[in-house]
Chains A and B, each alone.
Chain A
Amino acid sequence: MNMRNLLYIATILAGILLFSSCEDLDREPRDKFTDVKYWTSESKAMLVVNMAYNQMYNAGIMWRDEFLSDNMVHTYGSSDPSTIRRGQATPSLDLFKNEWKDSYGGIKTCHVFLKNIDRVPGLSENAKNRMIDEIRFIRAFIYFRMTNYYGDIPFFTSELSLEDSYDINRTSKATVMEFIHTELEDILNRGYLPKVDNLPAAENGRITLGAACAFQARAYLYENNYEKVKLYAGRLIKEQDKYGQYKLFEYPQNPIQSYFRLFTPEEEYNREVILDITYVPDLKTWTDMKGMAPITKHAEISADNPTQELVDSYLTMNGLPVKGADKDPGYDENNPYVNRDSRLWGTIVYDNYEWLNKDGSINIIKTKLGSGTSDSYKGMLELQTKTGYYVRKYYDWNMGANMKNSTNIIMFRYADVLLMYAEACNELDKISSEDWGLTIKPIRARAGHTTAAALDYPAAKSKQELQDIIRNERRVELALEGLRWFDIKRWKIGDQVLSGYLHGFKFGGSSSSIDGGYLRAGEYKFNNTRDYLWSVPLSQMDINPNLKPNNPGY
């Protein structure tokens, strides 16, 4: 064989070699499960349930809802809650769009789970039905939030096809609420959800039968259906064998701190808590405190501050309000934070506040203008507080300067159930002494009240006066827990409390001729015919005209 032939052969061989490594064009992802391979075990199915938990509720939503209420000012100028509160909302607000999108994302997870759960082999009926009921609870909760924000919403109970998503109509709020009630009733009847008493510690945070009952009560509360509120709240109070043993949390070492301790990481999963969202140190945390805590407690900038109006709703320890006809004569506007309901200390940081550290040591927080600390009020455009107040409740005293809060966020707790019950009783027929003793009294006693004015049944008060007392109690007890905005909606008091100026403290150097010297912390507007509901997102109406007409006023 001569050289030339050798070369030919070499070339041909090279050519063949080039393509002998003909790669397969079928390539599967390696870091994700494909649909065929996913629904194979209970634990995989549970991971989807976990995702639904994640999409149900979180700290950000709780604080955002709180920013919509008169409990706080939210001074980040261009933020959507500020825009809404100034009466400047338009259908194109990102908040309207994002809430809508996130909610339906959660609904989708629920429906994907319900569609596929039967594919999982070897799943026990109990385990399967418990997961299904958890998912149904979560779906109901997301729809509940949606319908409260937007009124009538697109509503469906199994996966929506892509085609249908382009032309689905809105379903009336009443129908959605009816569905929620039916679902919860069915969940309660099926009884696959465990009672809290039977919940192993490892499952703390999972949805229980009691949570479904509390949710049912709240769902009826937001419809002002007090019969039903009384029924379901009553079950949690009076049928604890069936729905789980709940009670107000007490901190026996130091009872006056009970309320405060309820919101510390050390006391999570106590029996007052009916359902909460778990946060885990370092791994799953929330950082909203960066804009709320005192500067010396590592806030970056103070944007979200409690209002004077909230502070004024706390009673004195004499059981009397600081304003109005029953005003406590001992209350001194210039020394306003002494002898106040312990829940004020547990919730809000004020001038000369005694900040309790975990190790028992105390820092004094000064907020008064000119008091010369990093926390002192300087002006409405400085990084310090805008009202003279900072947030204490939910502050995680284990966290460092990174402000990664791992305190659980409570969705339902027993005090809320008691307050719902009290309100229902009073609305149905002036609250009785017995019901008072069952509800308001223990809540106030837990807060450290001992006086008759605080604890005893105010028999002389009219139903209307009692309504004010119960509502005020609800505001105080549940302050900064994301519920006030919804109470404002159902009480229809938006134009009273969300219009005009909200205020900061008296120690910011304002002239006493304006609003008694209380800082004006922002002017707000509330449009009765519009602002109880959010707008359907403009972007969604653009895609699907069937979502129109929009809610009135937008």
Chain B
Amino acid sequence: MTCKKCESLIFSLLLAFILSLTTEGVYAKQTDNLVTPPSIQAAVKGIIKDGAGEPLIGVSVTVKGTTNGTVTDIDGGFTINCNENDILVFSYVGFLTQEVKAGSTSFFNIIMEEDTKMLDEVIVIGYGTTTRRHVVGAVDQITSKAIENRPVANLAQALQGASPNLVIQQRSMNPNENTMNINIRGVKTKTNNTPLVVIDGMITDIDNMNKLNPADVANISVLKDAGSTAIYGSRSASGVILITTKQGEKNAKPTVRFSGSVGFESPNILYTPLDGWQNATMMNVALANGGNSLAYSPQQIQDLKDHDDAEWMMDYIFKTALQQSYNVSVSGGTTNSTYMVSGGYYNQGSNFIGPDYGIKRYNLRTNLTTEYKRMKLNVILGYTRNDIKGDEANAGFKIADAARTPKYYYNTPRDASGRYIQSSISTNSAAALELGGYNKHNNDLMNLGLSLDFKIIDNLKARGVFGFDLTSNSRFIRRLQYNLYKQNSSEIARTENTDRDTENYSFKGTFINTQFLLDYNKQFGKHTLSAMAGVSQEFLNNKGIDVKTKYTDIDLGIPISEGETQTIFNESRTEVNNTTERVIQSVFGRVNYNYADKYYAEATVRTDGLSRFPKDNRWGTFPSVSLGWRPSEESFMDFYRDKIGDLKIRGSWGILGNQEIPDYLYFTTYTAYTNSAGFNNSAVSGTGFVEASPDLKWEKVKTFNIGADFTFLKNSLTVNLDYFDQKTTDMLDKPITPSVYGTELERVNIGSMINRGWEVTLNYRLSAAGFNHNFSFNIANSKNKVTDIPQEQIETVDSNVGYITRAGLPLGAYYGLKTDGFFQSYDEIKNSAIPDNVKNIQPGDLKFVDRNGDGIINDDDRFYLGDGFPHYSFGFTYNVDYKGFDLSMLIQGVGQRKQALRGDIYVPFHSGAWYPVMYKHQLDTWSTANTDAKYPRLTDDSSDSFANNWKRGSDIFILDGKYLRLKNIQVGYTIPKKIVQKIGLGRARAYVNAQNLFTLSKNSFIDPESSEYDNNMGRSGTNSGRNYPTLKYYGFGIDIEF
């Protein structure tokens, strides 16, 4: 479909819209008549309380069918004019709406019943809303309550454990990076497993989700199956996260809310090095076991023992940091309009020493709605600023260098006179952090959302939406030259950062989303029909400039020419080099039918055209159907409904799409690289090329889902079950190109895979003896399997960890030799297969399984060793309140995962002089006195034994990564209203909380969430455990409402 075609489609839609207007006048008059209220009225009063007898403030009291309404005051009281035939409607968030006939009563004592049913909870779905009762897709809703008061840096962290199969893995705890994998229902593509994020109806980037102030979020819907996501067709294969921000309420007095929390993040370094003399001794042991001469003489070891050890570099570079968060909001509304204005400030200090590292975020958001006759206007204006300052780059290396600095007394970060010393491994991470310069980001995001609803006739609504995101990011890096000294000497040992780079990057991105929707709802008898149709266009335009200078002035960082120092501008780029334009045009529609709230059917279709694909393959169509049945509504199930509860069975099938690939791949392109070669001492450019993939097309994911929703025990227990099956075809993937081809294709459509899984959610509420308990448990699993791939790929990285991509195995599969314990005797060695390139194997070395029984251990003996994706991920939330006290906790974890680990955190002395350190957790090595050890005998890296034990991809590098973590625990106290009212407050609550208080895992020395895999089970190298420490948080906060 071409742009012309889409224009004609838009035109016909508009035409339909105009036609509908012509018949509109008649209906409109009738509706006008209907809303005219009767005229004889009297004032009635009342007081509204909750079940515990506390007055409820802000309960909406309206006369049914009119706009006449009020809200209860601070004592729960209200006054409203009505006549005897009117029905008064009392509604309040979290409580069941009550309707009471006015009659002749002049004073009402209303007890609001808490809404435990949840079936009528409004659920936000794509381009609309529905209720829990009517949902036929797999949708989870997370309310603001689940994320409130969590001391988290961003929304993604807050969502961890909140919804089944919403797998969130925090790979780094560094507040300045916060590498997170966000995934719904597992891996079904190699291109993009990140869910589509929609904020207040506007498709946006996942980064923007994390720029939102968590306090501004009213609710989040997680759409999982084809039925619910197909309306976002082209990009919804990995699920959709719909975020709705808070709005004011109609007819509500201004409410001011303030919340603040302050806490400490303390770094928890999971491993401890040996004492200096012990380290040297063990090094000698390793060398001796390897048949080499010793590195340390007895005198040297005695010398190390005679001195106090230096402070370990890791302990020096990490400190406890302060985290603060403050939010204030004002909201309210009149009969025709609502408003919500909020501001937030978040500040998390980095745990690195070094000047003022950390992240600050400022949020401002307004959300206004106003109605005038048939029109409803909603304006959202949001602004976020992130100020981030960190070390100049490569924090991972600094951590690695610090971790592997032995605690020898001469390795103090600074000597007696305060100079930074050159440590025995040459580096000094403390100096690099404190003196080496910085990397500053100032990122602004402004977003505007405008929507205009227009009621054409009673059942038909038109809506125009205009969304505009303006992203303006700037990054400034300055590397400062500094000296390292010889211990206790003014002699300079090394000068670092002599390039003195100063880099400035500035990015401006605009994203414009326009939508036009028609919405039709009609009820006739027991039939409810709703239909929606729309068109949308998204236009992205990113531009960036990059200025890089080297050899700048040592003090100011400005370009300077001075003697031999000539500042050079290298690899600087104007916006031409950094321009991306992308257009997506879409047409979509949905028809939904239900009969008597018993039978449901829904069909959705979306067609998208995208500039990333070549002309002929540009348009993709994505249909889906859903069916639902509530047997409990059938008359023959009356008994079940009365005695047991509600039951709904639902299923969906659809095709979803995926297209998250780099732009312009269908062109063969040539890129000129400066300074590729040189002649006569002048540098010249060279041109490289990327070969086109001329036939790129949409990746398609066929998704099937079947689920059931149960309620038991008068709706206090709800159970949701889902099973899903996804088959991905035409996978967009980087093909395995043989090296002889000479280049690599970026992406082609190859192969297929399946992904299957299930999820269970249980919610249970119990109120007894003044205690209100709320248990929520979810557990889910997904397993993927590559079913067809043209070339299998096996790769062993650093001769340590092996990976395989092969039909029949999941993505992210580990591959290598299987260990079979240790050789315990020379006889055993003689009678066993050993690697063909290693000769001198000793008892205490690893024994491998000779899979093919040929008497030699080699690459033909490798096995599939499990996969790195988290399985059986679960979350358990428990809330309880008693009188004013409340307690909540979140336990979250993963029941099955393999975790690969290599490097000096795991392998003692893994590369001689470069990693001359050993940690306490590595001490359980084999010896004749310890034949049942965890690790093979200690040897140095040049020995044959080391080559056997640690230089073959085997399961010794594959750890059990399951864990359970008490993510959050919070205890709060709400001051009784009687007291707070005296000081003019509406509500006041104070709490203390802690995060990551304890973790159960099989391996104490590595954070179980640490992984080399990104969200697509793609990886960068292997995991060497160079993690920012796990952070424990302790803090307190208050919430006040005026």
Contact = CB atoms under 8 A, between A and B. Distances in A.
Interface in B907-946: 910-914, 916, 940-942, 944
Given A112-B689, A283-B675, A23 B951 contact: no
B498 A402 contact: yes
Interface string A497-522: 00000000000001000000000101
Interface in B415-434: 424-426
Interface stretch (B142-150, B232-240, B676-684): B676-684
User: Chain B: interface residue count, which band?
Assistant: 35 or more
Given A29-B667, A50-B676, A300-B494, A280 B681 contact: yes
A160 interface: yes
A17 B613 CA distance: 27
A542 B794 contact: yes
Contact of B799 (A38, A44, A92, A100): A92
Interface in A45-103: 47-48, 50-54, 75-78, 82-83, 86-94, 97, 100-101
Quick one: which of B667, B670, B739 has the most chain A CB within 10 A? Answer: B739
Contacts of A544: 738, 740
B15 to A, nearest CB: 10
Given A48-B687, A107-B742, A520-B293, A278 B568 contact: no
Nearest to A530: B837
Given A11-B452, A11-B454, A75-B912, A22 B585 contact: yes
A301 B942 CA distance: 18
Interface string A189-224: 000000000000111111000000000000000000
A539 B688 CA distance: 24
B66 interface: no
A290 to B, nearest CB: 10
B762 to A, nearest CB: 45
Contacts of A44: 687
A270 B486 CA distance: 41
Interface string A278-298: 111111100000000001001
Interface in A436-475: none
Contact of B295 (A25, A380, A406, A523): A380
B771 interface: no
B743 A105 contact: yes
Contacts of A419: none
B795 interface: yes
A160 B743 CA distance: 11
A26 interface: yes
A402 B499 contact: yes
Contact of A29 (B424, B515, B669): B669
Interface in B63-116: none
Contact of B951 (A83, A100, A162, A300): A83
Interface in A419-435: none
B494 A380 contact: no
A538 B668 CA distance: 30
Interface in B675-709: 675-690, 692
A11 B566 CA distance: 61
Contact of A22 (B537, B618, B692): B537
Contact of A283 (B570, B577, B615, B736): B570
Interface stretch (B2-10, B304-312, B868-876, B954-962): B2-10
User: Chain A: interface residue count, which band?
Assistant: 35 or more
Nearest to B618: A25
A117 B670 CA distance: 14
Interface string B779-801: 00000000000011111111100
Contacts of A239: none
Contact of A54 (B424, B515, B671, B676): B676
A255 interface: no
B7 A31 contact: no
B316 interface: no
A381 B295 contact: yes
A283 B951 contact: no
A58 B229 CA distance: 53
B86 to A, nearest CB: 30
B579 to A, nearest CB: 5
A154 B739 CA distance: 10
A200 B498 CA distance: 35
A77 B685 CA distance: 36
Interface string A162-189: 1001101000000000000000000000
A537 interface: yes
A543 B947 contact: no
B576 A31 contact: yes
A540 interface: yes
A489 interface: no
A50 B687 contact: yes
Contact of A27 (B295, B568, B582, B684): B582
B793 A25 contact: no
A23 B585 CA distance: 9
Quick one: which of A18, A93, A109, A160 has the most chain B CB within 10 A? Answer: A18
Quick one: which of A32, A282, A374, A401 has the most chain B CB within 10 A? Answer: A32
Contacts of B681: 204, 268, 278, 280-281, 406
A35 interface: yes
B210 interface: no
6 contacts: A22-B537, A83-B947, A203-B680, A280-B682, A523-B292, A538-B796
Given A47-B684, A104-B740, 8 more contacts: A4-B28, A15-B17, A21-B514, A34-B667, A86-B944, A295-B493, A374-B491, A380-B913
Interface of A: 4, 7-8, 11-12, 14-16, 18-19, 21-35, 38, 44, 47-48, 50-54, 75-78, 82-83, 86-94, 97, 100-101, 104-109, 111-112, 154, 160, 162, 165-166, 168, 201-206, 268-269, 278-284, 295, 298, 300-301, 303, 374, 379-383, 400-402, 406, 510, 520, 522-523, 525, 537-540, 542-544
